[in-house]
Amino acid sequence: MDALVAGKTSDGAVWRSYLRYNLIGAPFYGREILNADLRPWNYITHACGAEVGDIAVRRITSDWTMSNLRWNNQPSVTTSGQGTKGSGVGRVNTNPPRYCSDPAQEVYYTIEDIVRAWSNGEPNYGLQIGALNEGGPLNYREYLSAEWAGTGGRGPVLFVEYEEPEYLNVVRDFPAGQQMPDSYAEDKAWVDAGNVYDGTPPGHVLSPEQAAQNAIANKTSVKSNLLDAYIPEGRCLSNWVTQVRLQRSVLIAPFRSWLLAG
């Protein structure tokens, strides 16, 4: 089906549409949400104008599948954080059709609170689109679905803008025999636990030759890759000792906005 239908038609029938985005691994999880919209492409309406009857986008709060979805077996929804809009654009579904002065286009339903709920751990069961007041007068829209394969327009888009994560440099040293963490998450957990590096942060990366010369000058030792290692002038293999002392700096890159087409 290449259309999402919502609202109440002239014969009194009530229509609702359901959609769900795959948000596994979405980068906005756990971030501060700055802006979020559902942006379906409205191409049919019962009337043209900025305020012709509110359509609502609501968060679904129970699981569902396409195969089990029936009028008498619909998932639950919440009105908390719902986004509403009253405009109608595109064309009026009459015979012959009547075209609005505003052509078919994306319309924005503001749903920051819905996306915040997902970001804060509420399950993503998707969104319902329907009339705000299903017992009211004629109020009907059609939007292009993700199955739309024609030219012009597209399926509904979920747009999320969120706060960039803070830059965090994790600087640590590791004594001999201690295994280095495998991930940034482990480094960050070390910082979050209240640990602080008590040495001097590395100013720059030394070449193996520079590190060796510094070790000689300071009467210390340095670890080097075998292929990079060499015996400094005036030293012999027997007194060339290797000791593990590493420093690690990790930087996580920021994200800003995220766009997902349904």
Q: Where are the alpha helices (DSSP H) in the chain?
A: 112-119, 184-192, 208-218
On whether both 52 and 113 belong to a single domain, the answer is yes
CA 187 to mean position of chain CA atoms: 23
Q: Are residues 86 and 202 in the same domain?
A: no
9 with 138, same domain: the answer is: yes
Which of 54, 92, 23 lies closest to 262, judged by CA? Answer: 23
261 inside domain: no
* C-alpha angle 242-248-249 in degrees, rounded to nearest 5: 155
Q: Looking at the structure, do residues 108 and 221 belong to the same domain, yes or no? A: no
How far, in Å, CA of 17 to CA of 33, rounded?
25
Amino acid occupying residue 208: P
| Both tokens assigned to 84 | 């509403």
Domain's final residue, options 136, 163, 190: 163
Q: Which residues are CB-neighbours of 103 under 8 A, at least 6 positions away?
A: 89, 90
pLDDT of residue 236: 54
Tally Cβ neighbours within 10 Å of residue 239.
7
Of the listed ranges 44-53, 83-92, 151-160, 210-219, the one predicted with least confidence: 210-219
Q: 154 and 176, same structural domain?
A: no
In a domain, 256, yes or no: no
Q: What is the pLDDT of residue 64?
A: 96
Which of 123, 141, 163 marks a domain boundary? 163
Could you read off the pLDDT of 132-156 as tens digits, one per residue?
999 999 999 999 999 998 888 999 9
Residues whose CB falls within 8 Å of the CB of residue 104, separated by 6 or more in sequence, listed in order: 41, 42, 43, 89, 90, 91, 152, 153
Q: What's the DSSP call for residue 88?
A: B
Q: Predicted confidence band at 253 (pLDDT cuts at 50, 70, 90)?
A: very low
> Can you tell me the distance from the alpha carbon of 231 to that of 209, in angstroms, rounded to the nearest whole number?
10
3-state secondary structure (DSSP) of residue 51: coil
> Does residue 257 sit within a domain?
no
Q: Answer yes or no: is pLDDT of 259 > 70.
A: no
- Read off φ and ψ for residue 220, nearest 5 degrees: -120, -170
Residues 203, 179, single domain; the answer is yes
205 within some domain: yes
Give the pairing type, strands 109-110 and 157-162.
Answer: unpaired
| Angle 250-190-202 from CA coordinates, rounded to 5° | 40
In a shared domain, residues 209 and 154? no
| Count of structural domains within the chain | 2
Global pTM?
Answer: 0.67
pLDDT digits (tens, 9 = 90+) for 163-203: 987 766 777 776 656 777 777 778 878 888 888 776 665 55
List 170's β-bridge partners, or say none.
none
> Is it true that the peptide bond before 27 is cis, omega within 30 degrees of 0?
no
- Tell me the residue range of the domain where 148 lies: 3-163
Same domain, 39 and 88: yes
